[in-house]
Amino acid sequence: MMNDFPTEHPKDSESTVSNHHVKCQYCRRNFLLGRLTPKVYLAGKIRKNDWRHSLVPNLRESSWYDAPVDCGAYLYVGPFFSGCDHGCYHGPTTHGNLSGSDQCQSHSMNREKVRHRCLQGVDKCDVFLAYIDSKDCYGTIAETQTAIIKGKFIVMAFAPGIDSPTTNDFWFLSIKAHRVHFDVSESDLPELLRRIVVGQYVK
C-alpha cells in the first residue's frame, strides 16, 4: 500500500488546511513512516493530576498559549487546563478551565472560549486519541464527532470496566475510529501512544 503514495511533494498540494498531513498523500506517507512529527490531541475526561501528565511533560505549567508542546515523538495540541492547587478547575462541567470557586477566578474561561479552544485543538491535530474512563464524558463525545467529520486519524481506548467488544455503548462513534482498544489502563497509554505515532497501526 505504501507504494501507492507519491515519493515527492506535489507542487500544487501546498495547503494551509490544518489537517494537511492527512489530506496530502505525500505528507501522509511520511507521517506513516515516522518522518513527520504528528500533532496529537488527547481527548477524555479532565481530572486533577490525570493521565495526560504521564504523556505530556510540564503539562501543569502549560496553557493554550504554549501549544504545541514538544513531547519528542509528537506535538501536543490540547486540551490544556488551569491549575490552582485547590482542584477548583476540576469539578463537574468545568472541563479543566472553569473555576468552581470564587477564590480562583483569575485563569477561568467561559464555556464558549473553552469549547472554541478545544475544537481548535482538534482541528489542528493529526492524531486524535480518546481515552474513555468514564461514560459521562460528554465533551469527549462532541470532540470525537468533530474529529470524525474532519477526517482525523482516530484511536479510541476504553478503560477497564467501561466497555467491551460485545457491550460497546459508544459504538456510534467507534465504528468510525481507525482503531478501538478495550481494557486499557492508564499505565498502558504511553506504549499505546508510542505505537500510534510511529505508524505501527497503519497497514
Residue 119 in domain: no
Residue 136 in domain: yes
Q: pLDDT tens for residues 169-187?
A: 999 999 999 999 999 999 9
DSSP state of 65: G
> Which of 46-50, 55-59, 112-116, 185-189 is the least confident region?
46-50
Q: For residue 156, give the 3-state DSSP assignment.
A: strand
Residue 203 in domain: no
Residue 182 in domain: yes
Q: What is the mean pLDDT of residues 119-137?
A: 95
Q: What is the CATH number of the domain that holds 136?
A: 3.40.50
Residue 57 in domain: yes
**Is the bond preceding residue 92 a cis peptide, omega within 30 degrees?**
no
Alpha carbon 169 to its chain centroid, in Å, reads 20
Residue 115 in domain: no
Q: pLDDT tens for residues 61-108?
A: 888 888 899 998 899 999 998 655 444 444 555 544 544 545 544 555
Q: How many domains does the chain have?
A: 1
Q: Which residues, 6 or more positions from 14, have their beta carbon under 8 angstroms from its beta carbon?
A: none
Note the pTM of the prediction, 2 decimals.
0.72
> Nine-digit cell at 61?
505549567
Residue 62 in domain: yes
Residue 3 in domain: no
Indicate whether 17 pLDDT > 50: no
Contact between 67 and 80 (Cβ < 8 Å): yes
Sheet strands side by side (includes 69-70): 69-70, 75-78, 39-44, 127-132, 153-158, 179-181
In terms of residue numbers, what domain contains 60? 21-27+36-79+125-197
